[in-house]
Amino acid sequence: MILSQKEQYQEQLSGIFQALADPTRRAVLARLGRGPASISDLAAPFDMALPSFMKHIHLLEGSGLIRTHKEGRVRTCALEKKPFATVEGWLSSQRALWEGRTDRLEQFVTTAHDKEEPR
């Protein structure tokens, strides 16, 4: 099945927001915001087994938010910037949409209020 560009974009956003929905994954992303880190360093603050933690890493990698590479026995993670730009673009369009709606609502309420007041 071939997906249109719009469908691919929607799938990408869904994957990113699914990854961002979990506090453990958000904490991992926050830590990676300071620079690359090994899996063991990332897992250290969490009270969970490594296989459970790796599920979070795989989901982050699958969503495109991080990339991993292995050197010897150490797997290192780093942020990928492009998906964050995709989210920022989507949020900007949503912000513009809602600001337009609230501006129209304010105009409607002001106009209705002005009509009610006797002059």
Beta bridge partners of 83: none
pLDDT for 73 equals 94
Residue 81 pLDDT: 92
Tell me the pTM: 0.76
119 pLDDT higher than 60: no
pLDDT at 94: 82
Beta carbons within 8 Å of 28's beta carbon, 6+ residues apart: 42, 56, 57, 60, 66, 77
| pLDDT the model gives residue 59 | 97
Looking at residue 28, its pLDDT comes to: 98
Q: Is the pLDDT of residue 100 over 60?
A: yes
**Residues 14, 6: contact at Cβ < 8 Å?**
no
Q: How many Cβ atoms from other residues are within 10 Å of residue 112's Cβ?
A: 9
Report the candidate in 21, 13, 28 with the shortest Cα–Cα distance to residue 78: 28
Average pLDDT over every residue of 83-95:
87
Distance of alpha carbon 8 from alpha carbon 10, whole angstroms: 5
pLDDT in tens, 19-71: 999 999 999 999 999 999 999 999 999 999 999 999 999 999 999 999 999 99
* Distance between CA atoms of residues 102 and 79, nearest Å: 35
More confident residue, 6 or 60: 60
Closest CA to 84 of 10, 28, 29, 25: 29
Mean per-residue pLDDT, 88-107: 81
Place of tokens 């990408």: 12
Coil vs helix vs strand at 69 = strand
